[in-house]
């Protein structure tokens, strides 16, 4: 299987260059650095790809330029999978480290059981409830969850999934991890390996580059609207899973 890793790295984040080099050295796959789309330098066409209120359930917040850029960075990786004729790519953020005991069997499990059209998450936190154990390797289990968790730190993306995600995201209305949750929209099968052995070290590198600063009113608004949105997404995910089982 033709597979490689892609590390998304923002060129102006010079403090992370040593971290990127360390990741390339430690990964068991050949790894290329993919230039992240810079939210401070978005082209007009990239800005216009963001179209609020496209899909149900409605996403209740306006995207920041940095969130639009993150989505385009992942689309860039999905496009590279297709253009390079890869069977799959391990797409990574640039602020990760890997547990030497857990990550190798977790990645092997994902690679061994990847099917065309699969998107396999290797998250830093477990979210949701497992509904099916598909396979295991040592401590790692390949799982289907009641709903797809948030976070895009590490994922193994097949070419079929990349094609489906690209086709469904020419325009988008929410952050990329919220979009991936919408299996009913893009059609890729999303699974999770847990534990993954993937750890985030952004705090040691100066913090996240995509942090949000909000005033009191906006913070209150988000605290009210976020659980409503998550409830609607969970209900839609349950409907999708029920229909999939019956089909």
Output the DSSP codes for 122-145: --SS--S-EEEEEEEETTEEEEEE
Band of residue 68 on the pLDDT scale cut at 50, 70, 90: very high
Mean pLDDT, residues 181-187: 98
pLDDT above 90 (res 216) = no
Helices (H) and strands (E) in the chain, counts: 8, 10
- The pLDDT, as a whole number, for residue 50 is 98
Q: Please name each of the domains of the chain with its CATH number.
A: 3-246 (3.90.550)
Kindly state the helix (H) or strand (E) to which residue 194 belongs, with its residue range: strand 189-194
pLDDT above 60 (res 1) = yes
Q: How many angstroms separate the CA atoms of 109 and 240, rounded?
A: 26
| Order of strands, sheet of 88-93, starting from the edge strand that comes earlier in the sequence | 31-35, 3-9, 88-93, 154-158, 118-121, 189-194, 140-145, 130-137
Share of the chain above pLDDT 90, in %: 88
Q: Reduce the DSSP state of residue 32 to 3 states and report it.
A: strand
Mean pLDDT, residues 115-119: 98
- The pLDDT, as a whole number, for residue 217 is 79
User: Do 111 and 87 meet the contact criterion of CB atoms below 8 Å apart?
Assistant: no
- The pLDDT, as a whole number, for residue 247 is 66
What's the pTM? Answer: 0.94
* Tokens describing residue 187: 């059609």
* DSSP state at residue 147: S
Q: Is the peptide bond before 103 cis (omega within 30 degrees of 0)?
A: no
Mean pLDDT, residues 6-17: 96
Residue 130 pairs with which residues in a beta bridge?
145
- The pLDDT, as a whole number, for residue 205 is 77
Mean pLDDT, residues 27-56: 97
């Amino acid at each position: 299987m033709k597979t490689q890793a892609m590390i998304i790295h923002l060129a102006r984040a010079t403090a992370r260059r040593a971290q990127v080099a360390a990741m390339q050295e430690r990964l068991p796959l050949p790894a290329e650095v993919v230039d992240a789309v810079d939210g401070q330098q978005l082209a007009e066409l990239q800005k216009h790809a963001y179209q609020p209120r496209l899909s149900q359930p409605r996403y209740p917040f306006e995207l920041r330029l940095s969130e639009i850029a993150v989505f385009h960075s992942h689309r860039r990786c999905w496009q590279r999978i297709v253009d390079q004729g890869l069977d799959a790519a391990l797409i990574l953020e640039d602020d990760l480290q890997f547990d030497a005991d857990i990550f190798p069997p977790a990645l092997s499990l994902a690679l061994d059981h990847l099917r065309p059209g699969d998107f396999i998450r290797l998250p830093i936190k477990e979210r949701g409830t497992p509904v099916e154990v598909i396979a295991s390797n040592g401590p790692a289990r390949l799982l289907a969850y009641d709903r797809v968790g948030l976070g895009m730190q590490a994922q193994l993306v097949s070419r079929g999934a990349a094609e489906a995600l690209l086709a469904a995201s020419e325009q988008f209305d929410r952050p990329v991890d919220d979009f991936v949750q919408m299996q009913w929209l893009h059609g890729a099968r999303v699974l999770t390996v847990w534990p993954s052995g993937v750890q985030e070290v952004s705090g040691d590198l100066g913090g996240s580059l995509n942090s949000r600063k909000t005033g009191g009113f906006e913070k209150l608004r988000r605290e009210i609207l976020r659980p409503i949105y998550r409830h609607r997404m969970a209900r839609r995910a349950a409907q999708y899973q029920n229909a999939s089982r019956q089909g």
